[in-house]
Structure 1
Amino acid sequence: LVDKTSVVLVGFWAQGGSVARSILENKHFALRVLTRDVTRKNALEFQDLGAEVVRCDLDDAASVEEALKGAHGAFVVTNFWDHLSKEKEVCQVGAEGKLVADAAKRLGLKHVVYSGLENVDRLSGGKLKVLHFDGKGEVEEYFWSIGVPMTSIRLAAYFENFLTVWKPVKSSDGYYTLALPMGDVPMDGLSVADVGAIVSSIFASPEEFVGKAVGLSSEALTVQQYADVLSRTLGKDIRDAKITPEAYAKLGFPGAEELANMFRFYQMKPDRDIKLTHRLNPQIRSFSQFISENQGAFKDM
């Protein structure tokens, strides 16, 4: 592969933790983790595992440049839900702010793996806006436009969402419902914990993946099939609520309309390559395996 040069982890959140663990385990690269707070619990955990932890503010160009110096590559992930601002997400990495992307270009990083998504606004001709997709899509385009050797990974829906915001809800008739507005269209999914091994495989094969967008998915199931897996594993009667995107958008929680548009886009079947995903991580879990391992999250049902 390559000599023991650094991969820089830009952004923590769920994906970052999985990627960090995989890079530290396979030992092909040294790992440098960027964080605003070097005393935070997961930063200290990665330091104990052998990572170099560096204080960095993604809103400060000088801080970003210093943190990326001498690195072979970087894994970059941002979190729209941290601030609900497409503009802020874009500015931290590319486009207006140009921070991470321009620094990667100036410093000559050999390979950036960016956690991106489609620019739905552009793909739909302005008919459908999914802000947490659109901003990442703009950043993808900017990385490539300035010539950074970059691979974009486009993840499917997280299985982890079924443990929290998509957890089945008990109906007045005694059974449980799964309220995802997908109709009968299969929805791709994967566990975010399995992303790290995929990213490590991509870093190990730059000649195959630089300049490409890679859609990732463990499997694609209909909402009723997801419900059937949950029913079998948990011993509960769980059914598709058959909610429409229009009804979902009116549920009233922060981001409801944004997520309704995301499901409308999912119904258009964006490109996710299940076969390639399994090649990149042969141990990737199915939804059934994931739920079996996480039954404790449903003990209050």
Structure 2
Amino acid sequence: MSRPLVSIVMRTKDRAVLLTRAIADCAQQRYEDFELIIVNDGGAPEPVDALLEKHSAALKGRARVFHNPQSLGMEAASNLAISHSTGKYICIHDDDDSWHPSFLEKCVNYLEENPTAGGVAVRTQIIHEKIEGNRVIELSREIAWPGIFQFSLSKLMESNIAVPISCMYPRAVIDDLGGFRDDLPVVGDWEFHIRLAAKYHVEFIDGEPLAYWHQRRTQKGALGNSVFAGADKHAYFDLQVRDEYLRDFVEHHGVGALLWQAAMFNDLARRRETFFSWAKMRARNFLRHRK
């Protein structure tokens, strides 16, 4: 049996109602030269095995599962799956997200035509939804990062501009960067993207959304999105990553320029606050005189 060109990595833990949709989503891809590697990261194994059996005919023997007796964390789960993968290209398909049926096909074709690229990201749509019992109900949709038209390092320094479901990476690039940081319980994809964009040019496919980031903003517990249900943790580790990179910069370049920059930003903020206060006062006076 020949090795598949694409390895899909899927991490899950006690979210069968979402996992069944994610597995079916992979099986519905028009491009079929893939393997699906599921890491059950500390969850009950029986529901995962049952879902794989349920979808076995559609998956055509392309799926494997690894059960971690205890949770190792999202990035450690990704690294485990990647270590067992055989594909030239890697996708991280979170168990609550989904793709357009042509996602794999278009990303593979793009990377095959651009062999020096460090990966490819696609236009992404946010799907707002809620869970009632065993039903997932869609509420609305919107484009994610509508002002982003390239995978930009400068934009990544502000915030993450791509989620795992949006990207495909060459396996060689992931190996070159040392994989994902398993010491980060959250924001690991953002930190990886910073290292990726700092060393490689990453392509971007614009147009019709090919990836769907599903959000349940009020959902708590295992069925929630970590970025919302764990907002405090995200804020903490976001700042930790920034401080790590800042310390590295200071070690090599000192603090002088940074101190000057911080003072200029504070001065600019004060000037803007003064200007807006003045503008509001002028507007009030104008309206008062018109009466």
Give the TM-score taking structure 1 as reference length: 0.28
TM-score normalized with structure 2 length: 0.29
Comparing both chains, which one has the higher relative contact order based on Cα–Cα distances under 8 Å and sequence gaps of 6 or more?
A: 2
Structure number with larger C-alpha Rg? 2
